[in-house]
């Protein structure tokens, strides 16, 4: 078994010191989220993740989920693990108590969710998709949807899916062809096929609630003509009991590079009379409803990058502590040493650690702003928090998942040849991580979203406000003593300048040259992530300096925080300036080559 121990100390640090847990607990409806309660939640979640879910990760990878005679069986142990997860109330953590939820902050839920994804990414995908479906129904469902479906979905007795993609459509959801024909009684008959449906069929829950994008007979073309429908595997009677099987089935399961235990289904609707569905939201407003699901899922997928990176880091660290090879450069006369003493291995481990901590903090911050956007009593504060959630969502998703893949790759590298051998498990983390930059909107889509919808659309208001907030840490760094603070300050200032320069160029040139802006969009998103990560680690470094000076807390913890922030400043933040040119000069070199020359 490859062990996993939830990084609870760092999670607690981020929640208390960077997100501001006390402030979240002061919001209406979150009063129960005291520090003691949250600490207890993290401890118990860590036990379930490390003790039950992590040992199943390799089992799931080797066995995979299988489809036989229309029934999908998950790997050995998954059903019992899901029952334990559900019975422990873990599915209900962030949801409304009116539907059986525990009403804890999303920031806390994300910390808990990170543990499931790190311990067993394939397992964690089921509650992730259910979470998005719950969010969509809370926001757009009818009173009857909420009465019949939400309590069971919140408890985890039933699970939810998103059915967006079709073979001919891919990421272009406006090209869907699945049909929905009204029956005159408030129901619709759904016919069509969907692909890449995560947990579209499985044996973990009693019912599966599919949220399906489809087109009405008289709908306009493109994305303006798609609607969203709730289509359960089993129809639900008025008293909440299960009725007959709906006209839908899993046709096949995809054979994938990774996440083998997660059943990725091809779903067929309407082989007979058509699957019975009900409208979610308004007709032809499915895109709006879908984005409620997608934005929730995009933050969670960014968190998956953190999670799989953490799992790969822990394994690589443990291996480096025990793998003896070559002599210490400073003591050539001595026997061979564990590879963790070699500078290049240290460099890789520090890069893994620094990027994980940076993206974890960014993701939890976005989740904290999600809580503020929904619950703060002041309308202006809610609007400001929502603007930052919107701005950070594509950054968290893309920068987080790119980091997860890079970190998992470094994990293989640290293992050397043994990392390329499946038996060590390092390769599984890399294979599992590779899907995350693709699903829930590819990272290229995230880059375009950041540039066109989050920066250009509001004239850069949200981006400028965030840049100003990042600059505000400069005074604190200037007042702090020591070389570390000075080095972090200089690197962060240079990075913020680079981000400001690139943002100014986009605002000036993007409206007139959208192709040029799109050509540099991926570099802009990476630049944004690099600088935002440096900012959160600079804040962590300042807190660590205070802790060291006041001798309050574990000095080794504070020292590690400070060194990690300094490493990010020295090794990662300097990339920000180099990314300005790809943002501003990408047009000709990216777009000029004739298609026939490729």
Predicted confidence (pLDDT) at residue 332 exceeds the cutoff of 90: no
Could you say which DSSP state residue 215 is in?
A: B
Predicted confidence (pLDDT) at residue 464 exceeds the cutoff of 90: yes
For the domain made up of 158-284, give the CATH fold. Answer: Butyryl-CoA Dehydrogenase, subunit A; domain 2 (2.40.110)
Binning pLDDT at 50, 70 and 90, where does residue 23 land? very high
Q: Where are the domains of the chain?
A: 8-65+72-152, 158-284, 442-591
As a whole number, the mean pLDDT across the chain is: 96
Is 440 known to be catalytic? yes
Binning pLDDT at 50, 70 and 90, where does residue 1 land? low
Cα(369)–Cα(361) distance, integer angstroms: 12
Could you say which DSSP state residue 274 is in?
A: -
Q: Which residues of 235-272 are buried (b: 16+ CB within 10 A; e: fewer)?
A: bbeeeeeeeeebbbbbbebeebebbbbbbbbbbbbbee
The CATH superfamily of 8-65+72-152 is Acyl-CoA dehydrogenase/oxidase, N-terminal domain (1.10.540.10)
- What's the pLDDT score for residue 169? 75
Quick one: average pLDDT of 69-92?
A: 97
Predicted confidence (pLDDT) at residue 514 exceeds the cutoff of 90: yes
Question: How buried is 167 (Cβ within 10 angstroms: 0-12 exposed, 13-18 middle, 19+ buried)?
Answer: exposed
Quick one: average pLDDT of 87-92?
A: 98
333 Cβ contact partners less than 8 Å away, ≥ 6 residues apart: none
- What's the pLDDT score for residue 583? 98
Cα(170)–Cα(560) distance, integer angstroms: 44
Cα(225)–Cα(287) distance, integer angstroms: 9
Summarize pLDDT for 223-279 with one digit per residue, the tens: 889 999 999 999 999 999 999 999 999 999 999 999 999 999 999 999 999 999 999
Summarize pLDDT for 296-319 with one digit per residue, the tens: 899 999 999 999 999 999 999 999
- What's the pLDDT score for residue 342? 97
Predicted confidence (pLDDT) at residue 170 exceeds the cutoff of 90: no
Q: Which of 166, 357, 440, 500 is labelled catalytic?
A: 440
Three-state DSSP string of 50-69: HHHHCHHHHHHHHHCCEEEC
- What's the pLDDT score for residue 575? 98
Pairing of strands 158-163, 207-214: parallel
Predicted confidence (pLDDT) at residue 130 exceeds the cutoff of 90: yes
Binning pLDDT at 50, 70 and 90, where does residue 2 land? confident
- What's the pLDDT score for residue 505? 98
Quick one: average pLDDT of 94-117?
A: 97
Predicted confidence (pLDDT) at residue 373 exceeds the cutoff of 70: yes
Torsion angle, alpha carbons of 339, 343, 349, 350, to 10: 150
Residue 388, classed as helix, strand or coil, is helix
Distances (CA, A) of 509 to 281, 439, 444, 496: 37, 30, 20, 20
Among residues 565, 520, 392, the alpha carbon closest in space to that of 467 is found at 392
Distances (CA, A) of 65 to 201, 366, 416, 469: 10, 33, 30, 47
- What's the pLDDT score for residue 333? 87
Quick one: average pLDDT of 56-70?
A: 96
Binning pLDDT at 50, 70 and 90, where does residue 191 land? very high
- What's the pLDDT score for residue 274? 97
Q: Which residue has the higher pLDDT, 332 or 386?
A: 386
Distances (CA, A) of 120 to 13, 57, 557: 23, 5, 27
Q: Are 292 and 135 in contact (CB under 8 A)?
A: yes
**H-helix or E-strand spanning residue 48:** helix 35-48
Counting residues of the chain whose pLDDT is more than 70, the rounded percentage is 100
């Amino acid at each position: 078994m490859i062990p996993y121990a939830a990084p609870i100390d760092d999670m607690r640090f981020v929640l208390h010191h960077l997100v501001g847990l006390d402030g979240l607990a002061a919001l209406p409806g979150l009063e129960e989220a005291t520090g003691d309660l949250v600490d207890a939640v993290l401890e118990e979640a860590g036990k379930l993740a490390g003790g039950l879910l992590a040992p199943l990760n390799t089992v799931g990878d080797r066995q995979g989920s299988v489809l036989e005679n229309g029934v999908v069986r998950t790997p050995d142990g998954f059903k019992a693990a899901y029952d334990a997860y559900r019975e422990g109330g873990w599915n209900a953590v962030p949801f409304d108590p009116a539907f059986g939820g525990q009403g804890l902050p999303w920031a806390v839920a994300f910390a808990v969710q990170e543990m499931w994804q790190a311990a067993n990414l394939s397992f964690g995908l089921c509650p992730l998709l259910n979470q998005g479906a719950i969010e969509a129904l809370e926001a757009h469902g009818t009173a009857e949807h909420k009465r019949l479906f939400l309590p069971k979905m919140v408890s985890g007795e039933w699970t939810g899916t998103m059915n967006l993609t079709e073979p001919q459509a891919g990421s272009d959801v406006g090209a869907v062809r699945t049909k929905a024909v009204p029956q005159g009684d408030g129901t619709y008959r759904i016919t069509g096929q969907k692909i890449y449906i995560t947990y579209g069929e499985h044996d973990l829950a009693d019912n599966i609630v599919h949220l399906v994008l489809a087109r009405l007979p008289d709908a306009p073309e493109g994305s303006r003509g798609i609607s969203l429908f709730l289509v359960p595997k089993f129809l639900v009677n008025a008293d909440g009991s299960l009725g007959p099987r709906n006209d839908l089935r899993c046709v096949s399961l995809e054979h994938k590079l990774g996440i083998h235990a997660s059943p990725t289904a091809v779903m067929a609707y309407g082989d007979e009379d058509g699957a019975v569905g009900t409208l979610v939201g308004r007709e032809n407003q499915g895109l709006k409803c879908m984005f409620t699901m997608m934005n929730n899922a995009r933050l969670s997928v960014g968190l998956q990058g953190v999670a799989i990176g953490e799992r790969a880091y822990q394994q690589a660290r443990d291996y480096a502590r025990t793998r003896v090879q070559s002599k210490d450069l400073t003591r050539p006369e001595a026997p061979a040493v564990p590879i963790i003493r070699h500078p290049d291995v240290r460099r890789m481990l520090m890069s893994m650690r620094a990027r994980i901590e940076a993206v974890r903090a960014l993701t939890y911050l976005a989740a904290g702003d999600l809580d503020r956007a929904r619950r703060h009593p002041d309308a202006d504060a809610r609007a400001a928090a929502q603007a930052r959630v919107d701005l950070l969502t594509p950054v968290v998703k893309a920068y987080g998942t790119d980091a997860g893949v890079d970190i998992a790759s470094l994990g293989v590298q640290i293992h050397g040849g043994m990392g390329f051998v499946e038996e060590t498990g390092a390769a599984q983390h890399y294979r599992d991580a590779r899907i995350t930059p693709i699903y829930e909107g590819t990272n290229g889509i995230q880059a375009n979203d950041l540039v066109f919808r989050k920066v250009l659309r509001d004239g850069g208001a949200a981006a400028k406000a965030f840049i100003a907030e990042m600059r505000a840490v400069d005074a604190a760094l200037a007042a702090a003593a020591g070389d570390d603070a000075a080095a972090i300050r200089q690197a962060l200032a240079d990075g913020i300048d680079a981000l400001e320069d690139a943002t100014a160029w986009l605002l000036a040139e993007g409206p007139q040259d959208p192709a040029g802006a799109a050509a540099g969009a991926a570099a802009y998103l990476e630049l944004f992530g690099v600088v935002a990560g440096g900012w959160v680690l600079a804040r962590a470094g300042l807190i660590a300096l205070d802790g060291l000076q006041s001798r309050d807390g574990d000095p080794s913890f504070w020292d590690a925080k400070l060194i990690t922030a300094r490493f990010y400043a020295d090794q990662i933040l300097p990339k920000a300036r180099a990314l300005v040119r790809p943002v501003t000069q990408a047009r000709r070199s990216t777009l000029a080559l004739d298609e026939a020359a490729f």
